[in-house]
Amino acid sequence: AVLSLVLAFGMLRMARSKAIIKRLSSVETLGSASVICTDKTGTLTRSEMTIQQTMTASGKGVVSGVGYAPQGQIHHQDLPLSGGPVHSENVLLLRGGSLAGNAVLAQQEDGTWVVQGDPTEGAFLVAERKLDAPARSVNRFERVAEIPFTSDRKMMSALVIDHEHNDERLLISKGAPDVLLQHCTQVQVGMDVVPLTDDLRAKAVADVNELSGVGLRTLSVAYRPLAAGEEVTSGEPLEAGLVFIGTVGISDPPREEVAPAIAEAHRAGIRIIMITGDHPRTAARIAEDLGIIQAGAGALTGADLDKLDDAALAEAVRSTSVYARVAPSHKLRIVDALQAQGHVVAMTGDGVNDAPALKSADIGIAMGITGTEVTKQAGKMILADDNFATIVLAVREGRGILDNIRKFLRYLLSSNMGEVLTVFLAVVGASVIGLVDENGGIILPLLATQILWINLVTDAAPAIAMGLDPHSEDVMTRSPRKPSDRIIDTRMWVGVFEVGLVMALASLLTVDWMLPGGLIPGDASLEEARTGAFTVLVLAQLFNALNARSESTSAFIGLFANRWLWGAIVLAMVLQIAVVHWAPLNKAFGTSALTLSQWGLCLAMASLVFWFSELRKLCRHCHRARREDRTQLHSS
């Protein structure tokens, strides 16, 4: 019950931070993530697309924030995309990219314009507006058919009719430069259309590399007039013999919070892998700027992955952190290869084809803004803000929750071990401590109702409060937890037994102190002695709650950091005082009022648990320090 509550509270905190977890068990898995495979656009970047440069056969153009500054003079005349004198490839490039897209510019009531649709397609519309060319008439260009973009084709085409030029039909294509160039046989050079020679093709490739080298996304545009009788039945026959116009460089600035988040993930031992459909040089440059890879590391492409068998892929994923020009099927292969090496993999995705990779990953992360319903159903987590930094925040939260689970398990198990050992040792050593009646029968140190009180009233509130403990400062400086690591390991079991034994000995020593006979003669009644043992066990567990917050750090560090825990301790104390001194509860639980000196004895005995745990942590710290000194001595 406590575990479910702690996980639910963790899910609530994550949801407030824009990370929506769909299953309780995924919270634990997220805290163990050792690899995060992330998309680039919109996740690492703002998805604020702006065309900054154009590259055509005639030279370079720069689109600034206030206008368009080309190399060469542009006369702003509304000319067709083909036929007649063409004065500038830049006009054709931006207009062609606008027509070969589905985004629209919509004017708001306050007079501002916003892009509706894909941000990349919207960038062409905005750049065309910056060019200050006359807006194309809705009645002039009519889109009658479309060959849609797919991740495999990496391009799209639109069939457009120009009603002002004899209803001429044009096929306009937009896509990845390396893909689009394969479909082109001609190139636009000023007013002429010339054959695409090897030199001109090499120049186009060099232009793409120049743009990609400075971290710009690249898209190219091409066209061709359609002959009479040609119909849009399939992409392959039509998308051939195209006239290459040029390439645009699109800036998509990284989110400001991403680089610090990546650095934090690296400190936590989490590897970040970028998987994108962009040009490899663009992907590598962005990855360098964000700190994902070192300068010169480069990227593997989807074509490279297709050449690798499973063994070669396994070797490649050990060192490669950037993948470019990949298809969704490549994501699945990368995930499988990483999982085969023992990694816990988180994978982001937004398209329908990403669903298999998201389902295969240990944590499938769907985009909440741009993601499809299919990916949201397939993923175990949804990013409401599509922000990579939110993933790292969720990992931090997951690790903190894992720590808190260990805390309250350590607390509950050691506290219950104390109860078990108290009864067991009392039965075994009854004659030694005076728990024997006049007929030789064994007297139990605790009643069943008292044990029930401890388990249901005293244990529950501190355990839940411990599940809400603030995360330790080193939560993101430790290596990821291995899937084979147990939540309750041997080290914890040893600590549980030791603390439980101290609780039991303190409780039984109190009984012996108060009862006549035994090792230490006393003068209290059996009911008072039993109440004393009961109270010591309760107080010892409250002291244990402070110690259980860390296995190695002193309880005095951050002693008052968890106000919920202190509230639970105060509540348990009030209830314990009530069960000892309130007559109706005395009768129900077999307790008797204690004197002030008896309360002092109980408090002193219960505190032994606290001091034992502190001494244990100190010894462990000294042992670790000596071991580190020996290691440094040997290395030097």
> Which ranges in 32-168 belong to alpha helices (H)?
89-99, 119-130
As a dihedral over the C-alpha atoms of residue 381, residue 383, residue 384, residue 389, rounded to 10 degrees, the angle is 140
39 has catalytic annotation: yes
Phi, psi of 231 (to 5 degrees): -120, 155
Residue partners of 446: CB distance under 8 A and separation at least 6: 419, 422, 423, 530, 533, 534, 537
CA angle in degrees (0–180, nearest 5) for 156-157-163 = 155
Which residue, among 541, 584, 527, 568, has the nearest Cα to 454 in the 3D structure?
Answer: 541
Helix (H) or strand (E) holding 214: none
Cα 599 off chain centre by: 50
DSSP string, 215-254: T-EEEEEEEEEPPTT---S-HHHHSSSEEEEEEEEEE-PB
DSSP string, 121-149: HHHHHHHHHHTTPPPPPTTTEEEEEEE--
CA dihedral sign of residues 113, 119, 125, 126 = positive
Token readout for 528 is 């008072």
Residues 128, 98 contacting (CB under 8 angstroms): yes
In whole angstroms, give the CA distance from residue 253 to residue 269.
Answer: 26
Strand 345-349 and strand 35-38: the pairing is parallel
Please identify which of the residues 39, 178, 304, 350 carries the catalytic annotation.
39
In the three-class reduction of DSSP (H, G, I as helix; E, B as strand; rest coil), residue 275 is classed as: strand
DSSP for residue 34 = -
In whole angstroms, give the CA distance from residue 124 to residue 116.
Answer: 12
DSSP string, 512-580: HHHSSSSSS-----HHHHHHHHHHHHHHHHHHHHHHTT-SSS-TTTTTTS-HHHHHHHHHHHHHHHHHH
List active site positions: 39
